[in-house]
Amino acid sequence: MNAPIAKAKSTRVDAAAIVHSARTVIATEAAAIRALEPRIDGAFVDACRIILACKGRLVVTGMGKSGHVGRKIAATLASTGTPAFFVHPGEASHGDLGMILPQDVVLALSNSGETDEILFILPVIKRQGIPLIAITGNPDSSMAGQADVHLDAGISAEACPLGLAPTASTTAALVMGDALAIALLEARGFTSEDFARSHPAGSLGRRLLLHISDVMHTGTGVPMISPDASLTEALMEMTRKHLGMTAVVDHDQRLLGVFTDGDLRRALDDDGVDLRNAKVSDLMTRGPKVIGADKLAIEAAQLMEKYQIHALLVVDEAQRVVGALNIHDLLRARVV
């Protein structure tokens, strides 16, 4: 049967009391975090050494609210260079213990250090010689005593006024886990490119992994004309390829210049230009901004922003045009 929902004793909202309550919670949890700093000592270093030497994966486990925190810690570790996953301790005793292998390391979370579901599986873990790192709020607990390394995340008080709901204790455990993850990240020399590889669908992944070659138009999709082409021919090529410009190339497709919408507007505003008889080479922009196919797509975006242009030609080492892209291609790829 579901527990009855507690009813508010009063519908009157005391704004001052609400603000005081929230600020007290923040102050209490901030104090719990500050208390962790002097506990980052030799034990913390030993925990990092064990994880860095691990040939398998870091298996995180915890029950209840500690389990929720453990899932987040495992996710943070996995995305920052430490292979990790979460195992529910209750499920572990019913088959999931087979997921933990001798080459792994176990990171167990429990504020009391006396969580039955975790203590029940510890003998099996220890018999396999699997190193155990425990994060608890009680250095004298059973889990702390069985751990190869104990990290003290104890608090003086929960933020809950009843002293019951895990609040400051879960915050302290989470911060200790974050401290582990970032210390390991730096020890491994983990880079933003490494981070992007584990987040290929995220904005950072797109910025650091997507190359010009992934988004550029190629082959017949690249607007190109000869320098002898007429203005009409240039406009027809621009219209067909929908990039707002066309490359002007020699017979080997080496870049001579670019003709853009801006060049057209300038020509229309110049009374000295004979639009009927002008060749595109007379109106094109020489020495346009270009980019290589091996560059990152974000570099194209930065180049466009810097020079206030909306399209780029892609060239190889011999200055042959091999592709083209515009700002809309970058927007579709969600690079910008």
Q: Encode pLDDT of 139-180 as tens digits.
A: 999 999 999 999 999 999 999 998 889 999 999 999 999 999
In a domain, 11, yes or no: no
Q: Is residue 3 part of a domain?
A: no
In the DSSP assignment, the letter for residue 291 is E
The domain that holds 323 is classified in CATH as 3.10.580.10
Q: Which residue has the tokens 């892209």?
A: 325
- Asked if 28 and 172 sit in the same domain, the reply is yes
Q: CB-hemisphere CA count at 13 Å for 111?
A: 22
Residues 48 and 137 in one domain: yes
C-beta contacts of 120-124 below 8 A and 24+ residues apart: 120/89, 120/93, 121/61, 121/89, 121/92, 121/93, 121/97, 122/146, 124/97
Residue 185 domain flag: yes
- H or E stretch covering 33: helix 15-34
β-pair type (132-136, 290-291): unpaired
**175-207 pLDDT, tens digit each:** 999 999 999 999 988 776 666 666 555 555 566
**Domain identity same for 148 and 276:** no
Decide if 200 is inside a domain.
Answer: no
- For residues 225 and 313, state if they share a domain: yes
Evaluate whether residue 85 is within a structural domain. yes
- Residue 257 maps to a domain: yes
Give the three-state DSSP class for 85.
Answer: strand
User: Nearest-5° angle of CA 176, CA 178, CA 180?
Assistant: 70
Parallel/antiparallel/unpaired status of strands 149-152 and 290-291: unpaired
Is the same domain home to 122 and 219? no
Give me the CATH number covering residue 41: 3.40.50.10490
Smallest Cα–Cα separation from 213: which of 135, 329, 45? 329
Is pLDDT of 97 > 70? yes
- Residue 88 marked as a ligand binder: yes
Residue where one domain finishes, among candidates 190, 220, 245: 190
Please count the other Cβ atoms lying within 10 Å of the Cβ belonging to residue 242: 11
* Domain coverage including residue 77: 20-190
pTM of structure: 0.67
- Calculate what percentage of the chain has a pLDDT beyond 70: 91
φ, ψ for residue 105, nearest 5 deg: -130, 140
Residues 77, 220 within the same domain: no
- Higher-pLDDT residue of 265, 45: 45
Give the model confidence (pLDDT) of 211-235 as tens digits. Answer: 899 899 999 999 999 999 988 899 9
Q: Is residue 5 part of a domain?
A: no
Q: What is the CA radius of gyration of the chain?
A: 31
**pLDDT band with cut points at 50, 70 and 90 for residue 13:** confident
Could you give the number of structural domains in the chain? 2
Q: Does 129 lie in the same domain as 238?
A: no
Within-domain flag for 2: no
Check whether residue 169 and residue 317 sit in a common domain. Answer: no
Domain check: are 24 and 157 in the same one? Answer: yes
